[in-house]
Chains A and B, each alone.
Chain A
Amino acid sequence: MLQVNDLHVTVEGKEILKGLTLTINAGEVHAIMGPNGAGKSTLSAVIAGKDGYEVTQGSITFEGKDVLEMEIEERAQAGLLLGFQYPVEIPGVKNIYLLKSALNAQRAARGEGEMPAPEFMKLVKEKLGFMKMDASFLQRAVNEGFSGGEKKRNEILQMLVLQPKLAMLDEIDSGLDIDAMKVVADGVNSLRAEERAILLVTHYQRLLDYIVPDKVHVLVDGRIVKTGDAELAKELEANGYEGIEESVA
Chain B
Amino acid sequence: MASEEMEQLVRREYKDGFVTDIESDTLPPGLDENTIAFISKKKGEPEWMLEWRLDAYRQWLKMEEPSWAHLNYPPIDYQEISYFSAPKRPEDRPQSLDEVDPKLLETYEKLGIPLHERAALAGVAVDAVFDSVSVATTFKKELAEAGVIFCSISEAIRDYPDLIKQYLGTVVPVADNYFAALNSAVFTDGSFVFVPKGVKCPMELSTYFRINAANTGQFERTLIICEDRAEVSYLEGCTAPMRDENQLHAAVVELVALDDAYIKYSTVQNWYPGDEEGKGGIYNFVTKRGDCRGERSRISWTQVETGSAITWKYPSCVLRGKDSIGEFYSVAVTNGRQQADTGTKMIHIGEGTRSYIVAKGISAGKSDQSYRGLVKIGPRAKGARNFTQCDSLLIGDKCGAHTFPYQEIGNSTATIEHEATTSKIGEDQLFYCQSRGISEEDAVSMIVNGFCKDVFQELPMEFAVEAEALLNVTLEGAVG
Measured CB to CB, the residues of A under 8 A from B are: 48-51, 71-73, 75-77, 81-82, 84, 87-88, 90-93, 97-98, 101-102, 105-106, 109, 141, 158, 162
Contact = CB atoms under 8 A, between A and B. Distances in A.
A51 B427 contact: yes
A105 B438 contact: yes
Interface in B428-458: 428-429, 431-440, 442, 446-447, 449-454
A73 B441 CA distance: 11
Given A101-B442, A101-B446, A92 B454 contact: yes
A92 to B, nearest CB: 3
Contacts of A98: 433, 436, 438, 446
Nearest to B436: A102
B426 interface: yes
A57 B437 CA distance: 26
Interface residues of B, number: 23
Contacts of A97: 446
A92 B451 CA distance: 6
Nearest to A141: B450
Of A48, A72, A84, most B-chain CB atoms within 10 Å:
A72
Given A93-B447, A97-B446, A49 B453 contact: no
Interface pairs A-B: 8 shortest CB-CB: A92-B450, A93-B450, A76-B437, A102-B436, A72-B434, A92-B453, A106-B437, A88-B428
Nearest to B447: A90
A73 B447 contact: no
Contacts of B453: 92
B132 to A, nearest CB: 32
A88 B430 CA distance: 10
A81 B451 contact: no
A76 B446 contact: no
Given A105-B439, A141-B450, A87 B432 contact: yes
Nearest to A74: B437
A75 B439 CA distance: 11
Contacts of A90: 429, 432-433, 446-447, 450
A105 B429 contact: no
B22 to A, nearest CB: 56
Contacts of A162: 436-437
B454 to A, nearest CB: 7
A109 B437 contact: yes
A91 B450 contact: yes
A43 B454 CA distance: 39
B446 A49 contact: no
A51 B429 CA distance: 12
Given A50-B431, A84-B432, A90-B432, A105 B437 contact: yes
A81 B435 contact: yes
Given A73-B437, A90-B446, A90-B450, 14 more contacts: A49-B431, A49-B434, A51-B431, A72-B434, A72-B440, A73-B436, A73-B438, A73-B439, A77-B437, A90-B447, A97-B446, A98-B433, A98-B446, A105-B437
Contacts of B433: 90, 98, 101-102
10 contacts: A72-B440, A76-B436, A82-B435, A87-B432, A88-B429, A90-B429, A90-B450, A93-B449, A106-B437, A162-B437
A102 B435 CA distance: 9
B358 to A, nearest CB: 12
Nearest to A50: B431
A87 B450 CA distance: 17
Interface in B10-53: none
Contact of B446 (A72, A81, A84, A93): A93
Contacts of B436: 73, 76, 81, 98, 101-102, 105, 158, 162
A121 B428 CA distance: 28
B442 A105 contact: yes
A158 B452 CA distance: 25
Interface in B223-251: none
A75 to B, nearest CB: 8
A77 B453 CA distance: 28
Nearest to B441: A73
A72 B428 CA distance: 13
A97 B436 CA distance: 12
Contacts of A102: 433, 436-438
A73 B440 contact: yes
Nearest to A48: B435
Nearest to A78: B437
Contacts of A51: 427, 431
A46 to B, nearest CB: 12
Contacts of B452: 92
Given A50-B431, A93-B447, A88 B426 contact: yes
Contacts of A71: 434, 440
B283 to A, nearest CB: 32
B435 A76 contact: yes
A72 B429 contact: no
A88 B436 CA distance: 13
A92 B453 CA distance: 6
B46 to A, nearest CB: 52
A105 B440 CA distance: 12
A91 B391 CA distance: 12
Contacts of B450: 90-93, 141
Contacts of B435: 48-50, 72-73, 75-76, 81-82
A101 B438 contact: yes
A63 to B, nearest CB: 16
A202 to B, nearest CB: 19
A14 B298 CA distance: 61
Contacts of A92: 449-454
A49 B434 CA distance: 9
A72 B438 CA distance: 9
B471 to A, nearest CB: 13
B330 to A, nearest CB: 16
Contacts of B442: 101, 105
Contacts of A88: 426, 428-429, 432
Contacts of B428: 88
Contact of B434 (A76, A106, A158): A76
Contacts of B431: 48-51, 72
Nearest to B360: A92
Contact of B451 (A50, A87, A91, A106): A91
A162 B433 CA distance: 13
Nearest to A80: B435
Contacts of A84: 432
